[in-house]
Structure 1
Amino acid sequence: MFGFLKKNKEKQPAKPVPEEPQLSETEQEQLKDQIERIKIQVKELEAADPLQDAELAKLYESLGLAYEKLSQVDEAILALEKSLDLKLSIGDGYKKLMSLYNAKRAEAARNGDDEGIEKYMNKMDDMRQIAKKVTVGGK
């Protein structure tokens, strides 16, 4: 009776997770060169005018995004966090950092690492607070 209300019990095949395209050696070298150029720009800007937080934030964001493309996750996280320390923003760097935190949290969950789960959940909570500050405060 009321068979139309019953859920279809047949398991649907899992949708394949799309893989990110692999970078060619040339693309990897270009990103590494870009990282080195950005590092030089950061040092020059910090030496010339350490109060240029907005410009430094952009450079660190670019640095973090380049590291992420090279799958250097920890370096990407550090650079993106530095960017947000200098200037709150909810741009591409913010989105990528949230994604990296979520991936780290998922990895910790797979490994049964409760401390890691809590650490990255707290970091994601901090990110949501940044979004509130930026959207409400207009920073």
Structure 2
Amino acid sequence: MFGFLKKKNKPEKTEEKVELSMEEKERLTNENHELMATIQEIEQTDPIEEKELASLYEKLGLNYAQLEQIDAAIESLEKSLDYKLSIGDGYKNLMSLYNAKRAESARNGDDAGIDKYMGKMDDMRQIAKKVTISG
């Protein structure tokens, strides 16, 4: 009568992947080369500069994610968190990448992969708690 129990037609969620142009891919790749050179220079001359290194690794990881170089993105974003815990864009992106890897493992029937990425997602939740409590 009032439609409370009536099923509503929900639009399906569709994730649209934005295809990068060749120029954008080239720009991101060149930026990554510059970032890696800067990271190497800082690590050799002033490894104490952890905040700067965290920021550079985060940017590098975000670029890799845009280029769909998932493993490189994960590695860089993890290094960023090794230098400085934060729950910014890098954190959010890393959580999404872990979730995608977990889903891929589930599709492939890879129980070890599922466990690995569920564990990593749990670690990320702990980081969020630490940052929230200390911040």
Q: 1:4-23 alignment to 2 at 5 Å?
A: 7-8=6-7, 12=9, 15=12, 17-23=14-20
CA shift, 1:7, in A, is 5.0
| Aligned counterpart in structure 2 of residue 118 of structure 1, from 115, 118, 122 | 115
CA shift, 1:41, in A, is 0.5
Describe the shift of the 1:32–1:5 C-alpha distance in structure 2 as closer, same or farther (beyond 3 A): closer
Please list every run of 5 or more consecutive structure 2 residues that lacks an aligned counterpart in the other structure.
none
| Aligned counterpart in structure 2 of residue 43 of structure 1, from 17, 40, 43 | 40
Runs (4+) off by over 3 Å: 4-8
**One-letter code of the match for 1:69?**
Q
Aligned partner of 2:69 in structure 1 is: 72
Aligned residues, how many? 135
RMSD: 1.8
Aligned partner of 1:134 in structure 2 is: 131
The secondary structure found in structure 1 opposite 2:15 is: coil
Please list every run of 5 or more consecutive structure 1 residues that lacks an aligned counterpart in the other structure.
none
* TM-score, structure 2 as length reference: 0.92
| Aligned counterpart in structure 1 of residue 96 of structure 2, from 94, 99, 117 | 99
**One-letter code of the match for 2:132?**
T
CA distance in 2, matches of 1:6, 1:94: 39
Aligned partner of 1:26 in structure 2 is: 23
Identity of aligned residues (%): 57
CA shift, 1:18, in A, is 2.9
